[in-house]
Amino acid sequence: MTVNLLEFEKHEFAQFCAEIGEKPFRARQLMHWIHQSGTDDFDVMSDISRPLRERLKATAEIRAPRVVRDTTAADGTRKWLLEVGAGNAVDAVFIPERYRGTLCISSQAGCALACTFCSTGRQGFNRNLTVAEIIGQLWWANRCLGRGITAARPISNVVMMGMGEPLANFDNVVAAMQLMLDDDAYGLSRRRVTLSTSGLVPALDRLRDTCPVALAVSLHAPTDALRDELVPINRKYPLKELLAACVRYIERAPRDFVTFEYVMLDGVNDTVAHARQLAKLVRAVPCKINLIPFNPFPDSGYRRSSADAIARFRDVLAQSELTVTVRKTRGDDIDAACGQLTGQVQDKTRRREQRVAAAIS
């Protein structure tokens, strides 16, 4: 039985090399070839002896998720649909900008948190992705975009904002992020890796202690009553607990603020009164607020707030001396924008069936 080397962190590479009778420096060589050069072919590893290459071919493989669809939007945003087995596929999205390239990575096939305005949440949930399936999205995107030993790095930033709740797949997500940060792999700084969570408070404290990266929190409402409706996990970890965890997280975070994401839903959470409530809610938390125009999907039940409503909301926050930005929508013509990722999920939660039953009852 072969092992998939994309599953390995540095200490696991070292352990694997020891088990096959090789010295520790071989682990670094393998990491360079796999993650920096983007190869899946042992024969091209020119500084590794032929006998070792043959042994590797007999005992190991380098296997990323298979790309089944590659789509590019009018604005240059690129989305890959990657097969992860048993009828499931996940989305990864590359967003090119003038001074950086950002890859949005998925952590689960579907999502169990069921945020009402999110297309991924409507698909139900199948399973957590493995380390290889998570880091394989970055491995594939770098390879597809042309990174090699001498090529410039196309991806400067990674955001764990794709399909799924990253903190619900804690161990595999942290292992993948450790590879992103490792100088023998992708060498990204902690400031350039961002994890977005809906608010799993105990896991957020664990992240603070094990692998603090930049943090984004899907807030979306200024009161518990409204957030209970939009983000059901709030019923377990209400706003007071979540904001306290954010303050604790900042103590060890690479950035001295948390980004609060706030999707703008027409007539739901976008009034001046909501803005004032939000300003009061977060005033004790060092933060930046990112307003996200809702990206529609079929049967969502929501509409995007008008430009005027978003501007009024932004101005109230700015007048309260909060840092606030409005996210530019990217890739919506290929359903690659925030909240639109659906992938292909063999739903174990039967959420789609339950929704249909409710609609016809």
Q: Which long-range contacts (CB under 8 A, 24 or more apart) does 248-253 make?
A: 248/205, 248/208, 249/204, 249/205, 249/207, 249/208, 249/212, 249/215, 250/285, 250/286, 251/208, 252/208, 252/209, 252/212, 253/208, 253/212, 253/213, 253/214, 253/215
Predicted pLDDT at 121:
83
In the sheet where 258-264 sits, what is the strand order? 66-72, 78-85, 88-96, 101-104, 157-160, 193-197, 214-218, 258-264, 287-293, 323-326
At 252, the amino acid letter reads: R
- Report pLDDT for 360: 37
Please state, in angstroms and as integers, the Cα–Cα distance from residue 342 to each residue in 90, 148, 208, 352, following that order: 7, 31, 29, 13
**CATH among 3.40.228.10, 3.30.43.10, 1.10.3210.10, 3.20.20.70 for 66-360:** 3.20.20.70
pLDDT of residue 337: 55
How far apart are alpha carbons 326 and 291 in whole angstroms?
5
Structure tokens at 333: 């013509």
Looking at residue 300, its pLDDT comes to 87
Polymer length of the chain: 361
Tens of pLDDT along the chain (361 residues) come to 799 999 999 999 999 999 999 999 999 999 999 999 999 999 999 999 999 999 999 999 999 999 999 999 999 999 999 999 989 999 999 999 988 999 999 999 999 999 999 988 888 999 999 999 999 999 999 999 985 444 467 899 999 999 999 999 999 999 999 999 999 999 999 999 999 999 999 999 999 999 999 999 999 999 999 999 999 999 999 999 999 999 999 999 999 999 999 999 999 999 999 999 999 999 999 999 999 999 888 888 999 999 999 999 999 999 999 999 999 877 677 665 565 567 788 888 876 555 544 433 4
pLDDT of residue 334: 63
- Which CATH code, of 1.10.3720.10, 1.10.150.530, 3.30.200.20, 2.60.40.1180, is assigned to 3-61? 1.10.150.530
Angle subtended at Cα 126 by Cα 259 and Cα 9, rounded to the nearest 5 degrees: 65
Q: How far apart are CA 72 and CA 78, in angstroms?
A: 4
pLDDT at 340: 56
The pLDDT assigned to 220 comes to 98
Q: How far apart are CA 92 and CA 80, in angstroms?
A: 5
Instruction: Write b or e for each residue in 108-145: b if 16 or more Cβ atoms lie within 10 A of its Cβ, otherwise e.
Output: bbbbbbbbbbbbbbbbbbbbbbbbbbbbbbbbbbbbbb
Task: Provide CB contacts within 8 A for 51, sequence distance 6+.
Answer: none
Question: What is the token pair recorded at 328?
Answer: 């530019």
Delimit the CATH 1.10.150.530 region(s) of the chain: 3-61
Alpha-carbon torsion, ordered 7, 10, 11, 12, to 10 deg: 20
Residue range(s) of every CATH 3.20.20.70 domain in the chain: 66-360
Candidates 136, 150, 145; CA nearest to 77 is 145
Distance of alpha carbon 352 from alpha carbon 172, whole angstroms:
27
